[in-house]
Amino acid sequence: MNIDKIIQAILRKRGIVKKDSAAFLYPKHPDELLLSDIDLHKKDIQPILTRIKKAITKHESIVVYTDYDADGLTAGAIVWETIHHLGGSIMPYVPHRVDEGYGLTKLGIDAVYERYKPALLITVDHGITASKEVDYLKTKGMDVIVTDHHVKPEKLPACLILHTTKLSGAGVAYILATQLLLSFKEKKMNNRLMQLAAIGTVADMMPLLGPNRSIVKYGLEELNSSKREGIRALISQAGLEKNRLTAYDISHILAPRLNAVGRIEHAIDGLRLLCTNNPEKAKVLASKLGTTNRERQQLTIDTTLHAKDQVRKKHGKKIKEKVLFIAHESYNQGIIGLVAGKLVETYYVPAVVVSKGDLVSKASARSIKGFNIVEAIRSFSDLLIDVGGHPMAAGFTVDTKNLDVLERNLIRLAEKQITDQMLTRPVSIDYELPIESVSEKFFGKLQELQPFGFGNPEPVFLSRNVPVVDFRTIGAEGKHLKLQLLGSDASSIDAIAFNYGNEANQLKRNQLIDITYAIDMNQWNGKQTIQLKVKTLRISS
């Protein structure tokens, strides 16, 4: 087996040709990134650096106005730490999701002005759509710098702007911070800040290619030896192994804890955790985030069950439209995005979930590949109060009286733009592989493709006519299937097939099956063994 040939085939599936493979496998360190690599130019950033340096040297009051999700909190921590380190008088402001809403709002601006009366306000992870709010800020005598990565509207705010869609909100903040440190002839904070940028990048599901891959690959190295008390406490509270963090651990374990506190409490505690140097305070805050996350998990389960029941009542056994639109007054605003994601996962159609209010409603939407959900929603801006987001995820506020007409319009638009082929859930196979080729050596070579995540998924292989040595059901009510397959050198190889427990009724020992799978290293009692994570399974014909 030519392992290098297989690696090149996997890279081609990701759109990376051979001449670019070295840049992918051995990406630039973030310190080596050029502004042009992220669609920025010196002329974009120089006036921003000049204004911030003026605020620092003249001891003007500065506020960094964050978002309340993991990307926004890490971005806020990056800007706060950098300017504080350089001697600036800076305070963070995190809006309350329910009381104030997303981004710059009149309520939030008034609260900032009353509390701090800043000369300069810097947004992170939002602001690019806030023209009216920026104008209102100026009436309060504040200069404004917007740093954002969301899709630009037609009308931009009249202020200094640092914007690129190439990075996360935390990534944009990291570039601002490193450029600011460079202008002060300092670089020693870069690796510390890179840890936060890596978390924000993974949490916001940025494609792990190009500059994002650089930030996450090297950021993970720093996270695995982190001296940040908040990060260490969060890792410990989550029960993760030190020095073994992956992008998966960020997206599925750490980021949800940071997100949870903004979903059902106040996100300021997430920011405090990221920034604290006190180990005891870090432990207390990490414990609070863990408890809040468990509450968020249960609330998400309950709301998802309710939403699926609404889908069944509305559509019966078969989904009638090409977009789901579910609204209810009981839905917590903080978790509707998660519920929309669960609906897409279950039904594989775009989903809009609305927390319905008496006069005003909040909504989150999630999409499928090929349907730009934020542009679809923006096409009905005359019905909305505000909207923002990405092609795959969006949020908006709407007068409740407009919900019905908005639903009808979205359904009509989806019917025109979404083909039946787009509604087929894709199973992307990177390479067809004889099962005997799976080995520890091959697994080790695959690790050069890490970090895996959005835009660079874990490679999936297809093997045909694989002999089943043994099998059994595991988990609650036998929901999952544990398999022993005939591997290389006539030895067995373990496999786990989640949600395939029912297939046990059809299986027999020595039967041949076709499987798609990812390759993992299972650790148990100090031993490491190869394990296949089965994606699909069918009995060979």
Residue 242 scores a pLDDT above 80: no
pLDDT tier at 489 (50, 70, 90 boundaries)?
low
Q: Residue 186 — φ and ψ, nearest 5°?
A: -125, 145
Residue 332, token pair as written in the block: 């917590």
**Domain contains 309:** no
Tally the domains of the chain.
Answer: 3
The lowest-confidence range among 185-189, 361-365, 458-462 is: 185-189
Q: Does 153 share its domain with 278? A: yes
How, if at all, do strands 512-524 and 461-474 pair?
Answer: antiparallel
- Whole-angstrom Cα distance, residue 99 to residue 26? 45
Say yes or no to pLDDT of 295 above 70: yes
Whole-number Cα distances in Å, 239 to 236, 290, 333, 361: 5, 11, 29, 38
pLDDT of 526 > 90? The answer is no
With 90 as the cut, is the pLDDT of residue 522 above it? no
Residue-level pLDDT at 388:
86
Cβ count within 10 A of residue 21: 17
Q: What is the pLDDT of residue 488?
A: 63
Cα distances (angstroms) measured from residue 486 to each of 429, 464, 499, 505, 510: 21, 12, 22, 20, 9
In the block, residue with structure tokens 């914007």: 163
Q: What is the pLDDT of residues 39-88, one digit of tens each?
A: 999 998 999 999 999 999 999 999 999 999 999 999 999 999 999 999 99
293, part of any domain:
no
Same domain? 447 vs 515 = yes
Domain end residue (candidates: 423, 454, 476)? 423
263 lies in some domain: yes
CA-only gyration radius of the chain, Å: 24
CA distance 233 to 491: 41
| Helix/strand/coil for 89 | strand
Asked whether residue 1 carries a pLDDT value surpassing 80, the answer given is: no
Range of the domain at 518: 431-539
Domain assignment present for 2: no
Do 347 and 254 share a domain, yes or no?
A: no
Closest CA to 466 of 509, 532, 507, 513: 513
Helix (H, G, I), strand (E, B) or coil at 478: helix
User: From the DSSP assignment, how many helices (H) and strands (E) are in the chain?
Assistant: 18, 16
Query: Looking at residue 375, which CATH number applies to its domain?
Result: 3.10.310.30
Domain boundary among 393, 423, 453: 423
CATH, residue 497: 2.40.50.460
Burial of 185 (0-12, 13-18, 19+ CB in 10 A): exposed
Residue 476 structure tokens:
């609650």
Question: What are 406-423's pLDDT values in tens digits?
Answer: 999 999 999 999 999 999
> Which phi and psi (to 5°) does residue 309 adopt?
-65, -40
Global confidence as pTM: 0.89
Residue with tokens 């009995």: 539
* 540 vs 212: which has the higher pLDDT: 212
Same domain (yes/no): 263, 188: yes
Asked whether residue 181 falls in the same domain as residue 326, the answer is no
Instruction: Say if residue 476 is in the same domain as residue 329.
Output: no
Q: Are 63 and 90 in contact (CB under 8 A)?
A: yes
Kindly state whether residues 418 and 441 are assigned to the same domain: no
Residues 82 and 221 in one domain: yes
The pLDDT value given to residue 393: 92
Asked if residue 145 and residue 254 are part of one domain, the reply reads: yes
Looking at the structure, do residues 447 and 528 belong to the same domain, yes or no?
yes
Token output for 472: 């059994």
Give domain status of residue 12, yes or no: no
Contact 310, 342 (CB under 8 A): no
Single out the residue in 269, 288, 307 at which a domain terminates. 288
The reply to whether 15 falls in a domain is no
Is residue 96 domain-shared with residue 232, that is, in the same domain? Answer: yes
At residue 373, does pLDDT exceed 70? yes
Partnered with residue 467 across adjacent β-strands are 512
Whether residue 300 lies inside any domain: the answer is no
3-state SS assignment for residue 534: strand
Would you say residue 172 lies in a domain?
Answer: yes
If 0-12 CB within 10 Å is exposed, 13-18 middle and 19+ buried, where does residue 155 land?
exposed
For residue 173, pLDDT beyond 90:
yes
Residue 524 pLDDT > 90, yes or no? no
Q: Which residues pair with 351 in a beta bridge?
A: 324, 366
Q: Write down the H helix ranges in 316-335.
A: none
Cβ-based burial of 451 (10 A; exposed 0-12, middle 13-18, buried ≥19): buried
Between 540 and 533, name the one with better pLDDT.
533
CA distance 408 to 405: 5
Could you tell me which residues come within 8 angstroms of residue 313 by beta carbon, excluding any fewer than 6 positions away?
A: none
Taking the C-alpha atoms of residue 266 and residue 167, their distance in angstroms, rounded to an integer, is: 26
Q: Which two tokens stand for residue 168?
A: 């996360």
CATH for 171: 3.90.1640.30
Q: Which residues contact 321 (CB under 8 A, 6 or more apart)?
A: 315, 349, 411, 414, 415
**Are 147 and 176 contained in the same domain?**
yes
Beta strands in 220-379 (DSSP E): 324-328, 351-355, 360-366
Q: In what order do the strands lie in the sheet with 393-399?
A: 324-328, 351-355, 360-366, 393-399, 384-389
Q: How many residues does the chain have?
A: 541
